[in-house]
Amino acid sequence: MSDAIRRLTLSHVVLPLAQPVSDAKVLTGRQRPLTETVLLFVEVETEDGHRGTGFSYSKRAGGRAQYRHLADVAEVAIGQDPSDIARIYDSLLWAGASVGRSGVATQAIAALDVALWDLKARRADLPLAKLLGAHRDSCRVYNTSGGFLQASVDEVKERASASLAAGIGGIKIKVGQPDWAEDLRRVAALREHLGDAPLMVDANQQWDRARARRMCRALEEFDLVWIEEPLDAWDAVGHADLSRTVDTPIATGEMLTSVPEHVALLDAGYRGIVQPDAPRIGGITPFLRFATLASHAGLALAPHYAMEIHLHLAAAYPTEPWVEHFEWLDPLFEERVEIADGRIRVPDRPGLGITLSDRMRALTRETATFGR
């Protein structure tokens, strides 16, 4: 007899940052400084006693909306076989179909989808990467959290040096300021400071097509690993054109919230680096669907944020990926990722290899339980 989902526990968690951070969207007046990350955690229990944990997140508005949407549809999963992840996913999509199949709706479902994959791997007593079919036991890793624009160049240099000394392999800094000349000065300073260490830049969607072309040409001399989100995230044609006309690889995809939105890049002839985010695209199930298409198209992979999840997915990608390091979520988990020699190692613990901490419980604002 097959197992069945007995109980789901949802937690709405607000994690403050140690200090506010700003990217180009703040300097152009489109957003306020980031002060907290809001997370939706899901804990799954089955009739046979198996458990799994997953999460989704929002860096600004929308975190509570994710929590409320999943609370509206979660009951649909009760009694279903936890192994039937794709079927459960579709049933949740249909339960909330009136608000669409992207954005908050899929980001809410993502937390449960991740929990079900964690459960399946734990039940098999395998790390998730091994369950999926790993190509490697570790991935290249780069740090972003030290490169935000509220920090001075000297502060960014200091943090970059600390990251490299801790075993991280690459550094990403933010650009896209109204003063494009200041962007170039910051990049030049970091390139000189880092020598030949891998360096990436991220414009956070703040250039139009004309400015992006000029900036990408001006940045060529710095031997960057990639230029990220030079254009609006939904400008598939613009990103595709840039990816075919400049030597430095163009990276994008982190803001997209469904497989069709990512496929638009492929349809436009994109030749850059794809950055799907499992909690944003809707979970591990849709992430894997798009990853298959991206691999078939010969695209490199560098998943966005949530390294606790993406380390496993990157390890299962056919070609060598990059994983983004953010320490922001560390307080929520008992374990720490292992980083050395420029690489982040897949844990040998079952599932995602994470255990929720007492700090996560203390930061929980609201919970809801479904089933028994």
Residues tagged active-site: 174, 304
59 is in an annotated binding site: yes
Six-digit token string for 200: 């990436």
Residues 6+ apart with CB under 8 A from 158: none
C-alpha to C-alpha distances, 148 to 7, 95, 152, 163, 183, nearest whole angstrom: 40, 39, 9, 14, 12
Does the annotation place 81 within a ligand binding site? Answer: no
**32 is annotated as contributing to ligand binding:** no
60 is in an annotated binding site: yes
- Identity (one letter) of the amino acid at 240? A
| Length of the chain as a residue count | 372
Query: Is position 24 annotated in a ligand binding site?
Result: yes
What span, in angstroms and rounded, lies between the C-alpha atoms of 20 and 63?
Answer: 18
Confirm or deny that 208 is annotated as ligand binding: no
334 annotated to a ligand binding site: no
Residues placed in the known binding site for substrate:
23-25, 59-60, 172, 204, 324
Annotated binding site for Mg(2+): 202, 228, 254
Annotated binding site: 23-25, 59-60, 172, 202, 204, 228, 254, 324
